[in-house]
Structure 1
Amino acid sequence: MFEIPMAAAGITVVTPAPVPGPSLADAALAALSSSSGSVVVGGISFGAHLAAEWAVANPSRCVGLVLALPAWHGEPGTAPASRSALLSAAAVRSSGVAGALSGSELPRWLADELARAWHGYGDGLAESLEVAAARPAPTLAELATLDVPVGIAACADDPVHPASVADEWATALPCASVCRTRLSIMGVDREALGRAAVLAFLRAAGGTPGRTPCRR
């Protein structure tokens, strides 16, 4: 989803394999810390939260963020994505991956995408979903400390990851841009979300009218 758009921007994508279960988040953060040099960090949904969390903790190493579909800031509270992850975890525990997806009202392409991703978590899927549902994202105050270009992709028709959250992140960040696409477009163009995120990042890196320029 991101690899081809990032390659077009001259950025090589490295995707660490997830460590399912209770260590999901900590293992992902450790994998980022084990990389060498300065990096552009990115992710989708919970991955976007972790990318920003790592950037807040490692400001000298992060030179940019390419994010898609942030779901909340601070504590998850009643955020739709948190509730959805908990419901999905319960369905996986009771019916398995196939049963959980067959009982959903997801578009076929999205169900297929989740099936592909979820099977990689094996028996740790439900617990991984619960970890994602409960972990706080960076607060708006923490996001305000990130003086690097940040591109954020949002879907205007996604009720689970409201575009308003992406706008709140972008308003808090000193140097950010939001580019919108739609879930309906992703159904026929799998790379649409990645292109939107990369376009937003390039806009942020080049400066945008009305925004404070990045100092790096």
Structure 2
Amino acid sequence: MIPIFPFFLFLLALQSNLIQLVKGDNLFIGCGFEVVNYEMIFTTDYSSVCYTMCKSHSYTYYTHKAAMGQCVCYIYPPPAAEYMPGGPEDCNGQLQYNIIKSNWNFQKCYKSPRSYMEEIPSDSFKACMDGCAPHQIAIARPTGIFPGQTNCVCCGEDELDGMEETECDLEKYYVFSHTPTPVPTTKRSQRSLAIAQRQAFNPPGPY
């Protein structure tokens, strides 16, 4: 017979590990006015159904339009210029944009970065996170620059000290964290990483 108390602790530990495993998926990347370009749309009252269906069809993003009872699945990122104020599950009546699969976690938004941080142009939050894979932190700023430029900063978590928190919105700095991808040591692996980062920050088209 298994002792009850140790078994209870085991269940708590297992639950904690499962929560950590799924925490990065279904990643909030902001609130916005509309989703214009999408690949699939269907009717459902449940965000969880929307997420599951879009994931099963291997789409990159999903948005659940609760007021209309609609789900949209899409490959290309939402336009940065469409971003509106709001946070996770609190988009003030606007739409919530989500990446379906990710190993990043959303933290919070800030007014501005540290003065020495260099913003690198990219074209999406996902591109920013992909390019920041060797770092703890990816900071994405949706801008109004045509056709929807997202600026990006890669840094360590300790570099967030002193930055002022604010409501997420257009031109604000969205902070995401993860366990960094180990920096490769072989020349071939380093070249592969350099190519991946170049594609992330200078993609040939919609990402």
- Same fold judged by TM-score > 0.5? no
Name the TM-score class by shorter chain.
under 0.3
Q: Which of the pair is proportionally richer in strand?
A: 2
| TM-score scaled by length of structure 2 | 0.23
Of Structure 1 and Structure 2, which has the larger fraction of its residues in helix? 1
